[in-house]
Chains A and B, each alone.
Chain A
Amino acid sequence: MSRSWWLPLALLLLLVAVSLLALAHGTVWLNPFAAATEAWQATVLWEIRLPRVLLAILVGAVLGLSGAALQGLLRNPLADPAIVGVSACAAFGAVVVLYSGLASLAWFALPLGGMLGAALSVLLVYLLAGSRSSLFSLILAGMAVNAFVGALISLVLNVASNPFAMSEIVYWLLGSFANRSLDDVAAAAPFMLAGSAVVLTAGRYLNALSLGEETAASLGFNSQRWRWLVVSGVACAVGAAVSVSGNIGFVGLVVPHLLRPLVGHEPRKLLWASALGGAVLLVLADMLVQGISGRVELKLGVITALIGGPFFLYLIVKTRSTDW
């Protein structure tokens, strides 16, 4: 089957290409392969642009992968970490840890806050919508969680004794990779990678699940155990990702949908493809926000929502005609 490998390979090559382009692109074009002629060039390339590109790759991969996993697990085409409220809760956890000063206690405190918030949201959504939720009860549960947690974030930022806290609401609600350092990458990457690895082991279960829960059980999968694995993997990866990037929406929704036809609707292959596709999308989006910025750099979530919003509406119209 030639089809099983060409797509991941093509996406990987595309990712390498856009990542190199993103390294070269900035306030001035720099060649990542040429030796630096001036001291500042190396600093700009490897300490300012590289962390950005690495974070865009990792966070994009986590969001794409998590979207594909949640869609498979909930058997719901509208599932996405941002829509079901996981990202907002992760942002809330990170906000509490950061503005209370706890973040400076340990290098892993900020990602940990994000992961705890994400874990809480998964419980909330399960309680509100149930494990076999209909399309719309899931969306409604997510809406309620998003609205409530968005208010909690505003509340925490408002009472924070920090002159910049209020203006950073925008960052937490829309996300950005500006001014990130390799320290941020080092703090969040282990959790993003570990969570993603756990989610990726669930490929065969998701394949079986796509044939129905009874079929999965008859094939020897312990549904309870696999559900918890996927959900904790997503909470871990998305929690860590949001803690260093803010809440970037729609990546987990759009990417799996674009790639699903290309992997023959097989959930296991979709996981890998969505991770790569999410990374490509965020690296491109991050280049775009730097290119069209005015006085203050645009937030990433603006770009992803501009793409994702209309796409979401299209999906709603499409699903309405099939299974209301």
Chain B
Amino acid sequence: MLCLPGNPLLAQQRIASLNLCTDLLLLELVEPERIVSLSYWAADPDLSYLAERASGLTLNHSLVEEIVPQQPDLVLAGQYSDVQVVALLRRLGYPVAVMDVPLTLAGMRAHILEFGELVGEPERALALADQIDAGLAAAAPTLDSASRPLAAVYGPQGVSPGRDTLMNDLLYLAGYRNLAAELGVSSYGTLSLETLVRAEPDVLVLDNLANSGDSIAHRAMRHPVLRRQFAEAQLLHLPASLSVCVGPTVVTAVQRLVAGRPQVAVLEGAVGE
């Protein structure tokens, strides 16, 4: 099945997407002429590594009114897309594929291949999946579990990804332990400033959303405790656009995390106490 050339009918579809992760795979696999609408997140450089390419295309805000005039042959949605929007589009006769976008690395390869079939570009999808797998294999260090530094991911509002998240997989692959996961957080939870200070992590992973802008969440990120407790060397800035969706960016994310790992000597000091 996977070795068959793309179905020529599928390869002519004009496609709209309502979800950032399906936006990004669509941009990776399909010629821009066939993309009739992307979610507005796709053009946000804070979240989308393809923002420049997306900003030239028609964007939607998950409103049926924005999709219908484009007359797409296929609409892609994620499992968390608004069910009302999906239901209305279907009632109006538009085929909607609700993709189960993987939240971890586990389903990534199968997802990309299935996506490729759906949009009529199975060969490109296979190439992309192979490229990502090879990239991850090359980027991930081989190490024993004793020398894994403890990383805490701390986002605005104290949000931290725990078990069963993409970020957790990336951290583990890059040779870290993840504080939130060790504290029993599954999916996304919050860490209080107190918990963070008590755990004394070796590395604090911050995303770029934490640095720009003014809000209560941003003011909390500038709390003097964070500045004092964590030396510049312990801070690892990882753009959110690298870890928000499964796709080629996971390789870059792992590379950045590996590059930011503290030296072994530092770690042995920490382990020995």
Contact = CB atoms under 8 A, between A and B. Distances in A.
B189 A98 contact: no
A43 B214 contact: no
Given A168-B217, A182-B224, A40 B198 contact: yes
Contacts of B189: 295
A48 B197 contact: yes
A318 to B, nearest CB: 38
Interface string B181-202: 0000000011011110110100
B78 interface: no
B229 interface: yes
Interface in A73-105: 98-101, 103-104
A163 B44 CA distance: 11
A99 B214 contact: yes
Contacts of B216: 98, 164, 168, 171
B251 to A, nearest CB: 25
Contacts of A295: 189-190
Give the interface SS of chain B, mostly helix, strand, loop or mixed. Answer: helix
Nearest to A49: B194
Contacts of B198: 27-28, 40, 44
B149 interface: no
Given A101-B214, A163-B46, A182-B224, A40 B200 contact: yes
Contacts of B197: 40, 43-44, 48
Contacts of B209: 163
Contacts of B158: 179
Interface in B153-181: 156-158
Interface in B215-249: 215-220, 223-225, 228-229
Contacts of A163: 46, 209, 213
A99 B209 CA distance: 15
Given A43-B229, A181-B225, A183-B224, A48 B215 contact: no
B157 A164 contact: yes
A168 B195 CA distance: 22
Interface residues of B, number: 27
Contacts of B219: 98, 179, 184
Contacts of A44: 194, 197-198
A43 B216 CA distance: 21
Interface string A16-33: 000000000011100000
B241 to A, nearest CB: 13
Interface centre among B189, B213, B214, B216 (most CB of A within 10 A): B216
A98 B225 CA distance: 21
Given A99-B215, A168-B217, A171-B216, A48 B225 contact: yes
Contacts of B194: 26-28, 44, 48-49
A75 to B, nearest CB: 37
A305 B217 CA distance: 24
Contacts of A101: 214
Nearest to A43: B197
A98 to B, nearest CB: 6
Contacts of A214: none
A312 to B, nearest CB: 27
Nearest to A98: B214
Contacts of A47: 224-225, 228
A322 interface: no
Contacts of B223: 179, 181
Interface string A162-187: 11110110010000001101111000
A295 B191 CA distance: 9
Contact of B228 (A43, A103, A162, A167): A43
Contacts of A183: 224
Contacts of A164: 156-157, 213, 215-218
Interface centre among B156, B158, B224, B225 (most CB of A within 10 A): B225
A47 B189 CA distance: 23
13 contacts: A44-B194, A47-B228, A100-B214, A162-B218, A163-B213, A164-B157, A164-B215, A168-B216, A178-B220, A182-B224, A183-B224, A295-B190, A297-B192
Given A43-B197, A47-B225, A163-B213, 19 more contacts: A27-B194, A27-B195, A40-B197, A40-B200, A43-B228, A48-B225, A49-B194, A98-B215, A161-B213, A162-B214, A164-B156, A164-B213, A164-B218, A168-B217, A181-B223, A181-B225, A182-B224, A295-B189, A296-B157
Which 8 pairs from chain A and chain B are nearest by CB? A179-B220, A164-B217, A164-B215, A27-B194, A162-B213, A47-B225, A40-B197, A162-B215
